[in-house]
Structure formats: structure tokens, C-alpha cells
Amino acid sequence: MLEIEFRARFNQKKFEKLKNFLNKNAECLGENNKDCYYYVFPDKLLKLVNNISKKTAKISLKLNHIGNGAAFPEMEVYFSPQQFNIAKKLIDSLDLPVKVMHGPQQRIDYRYKNCEIALKYSDAWGYHLEIEQVIETKKEQPKAEKAIREVADELEVRLMSEEELKKFTQNAEKQA
């Protein structure tokens, strides 16, 4: 499975406008608020996630760094949220040579026109969204990207370019 994912940033006014539109026109999948630790490698991202809204926890490995393409494999392992602190101690004890970032994330998930949309706020990113599709083969990527871009156009959000994502994440990592 490959995740095709694009992001857009905007202000609070646009966030509220998008939230109203999606609440009226999309399937709301509910709040998905999280406490996240990001272990940033040069070529991948390991996330430790305590999903407060859904009362779940997971470790997620994205085999790509944000800003290095919209398609990447992702592997996830779920576990009991009661084990979250133990999982964090385990990962931290590995003494990984990576940058660690931490922050809560407020999030509402939607399904709209065959796309998953996560409307979010975090300290590092501000108000933003992710639009994604999960595909089975690389061959499906152009169709998925087209669908995502059409939804972004309809929502009147400008998707960030790979260069913008790379610069933004580099700056966020420096500030963490």
C-alpha cells in the first residue's frame, strides 16, 4: 500500500470556512486528536502516536521524509494506549541519531470524493490540512494525484510544493 498525500497551510478564518463546508458536504469521520512524537531521520519518519480521541496508540514508519515526494509506503503497529509510555521509553532508549519533535495535534477527519481529508491544527504547522488516498500500486498514483488536486481546487486551497514542504519541515526541525 502506498499513501499519496498532499498538504496545504492557511489561516484560522480559512480553517473555519473549510470546517463548515466539510461538515455540510463530506462524511465526518470524527475528531482524531493526538499526542505525537516524531523521530526525524534524513530519509524517513518514525511517529509515536497516542490517539486521545480514539483511545488507541501506534508506531508509524513513513519510508520517506516530508518534501521528498507525495507517495510513500507506510507501516503501522497498533498497541494499547496504556503501553504508550513504555513504547516511548523503548524508542528513546535506542539512542537513535535523529531529531525528536513533540506536539499535540487537533484534528478532524473527513471523507470527501474518495479522498481522506484531515483538517488540523498543531503548534509546528499552524492551521493546515492533508488530503490523501491510499493506493495499492504505483501505477495508480497519477489518478490519485489528479483526484486530490481536484478536491484541493474545489476547496480553494493551494497545495504545498515539494520544495515548500522541504523548506518548511527543515525550518520546523531546526526550531524543535
Domain regions of the chain by residue span: 2-175
pLDDT at 67: 63
pLDDT at 86: 96
pLDDT at 151: 98
Q: How many CA atoms lie within 13 A of 128 on its CB side?
A: 17
Fold of 2-175: Hypothetical Protein Pfu-838710-001 (2.40.320)
- Full pLDDT tens readout for the chain, 176 residues: 788 999 999 999 999 999 999 999 999 999 999 999 999 888 888 999 999 999 999 999 988 766 666 666 788 999 999 999 999 999 999 987 678 889 899 999 999 999 999 999 998 899 999 999 999 998 999 999 999 999 999 999 999 998 998 899 888 877 76
- Cβ-in-10-Å burial (0-12, 13-18, 19+) of 120 comes to buried
Provide the grid cell at 124: 509546528
pLDDT at 1: 78
Rounded to an integer, what distance in angstroms lies between the CA atom of residue 41 and that of residue 24?
A: 39
pLDDT at 176: 66
Q: Outline where DSSP puts E strands in the chain.
A: 2-10, 27-31, 34-40, 45-51, 56-62, 71-79, 99-112, 115-122, 126-135
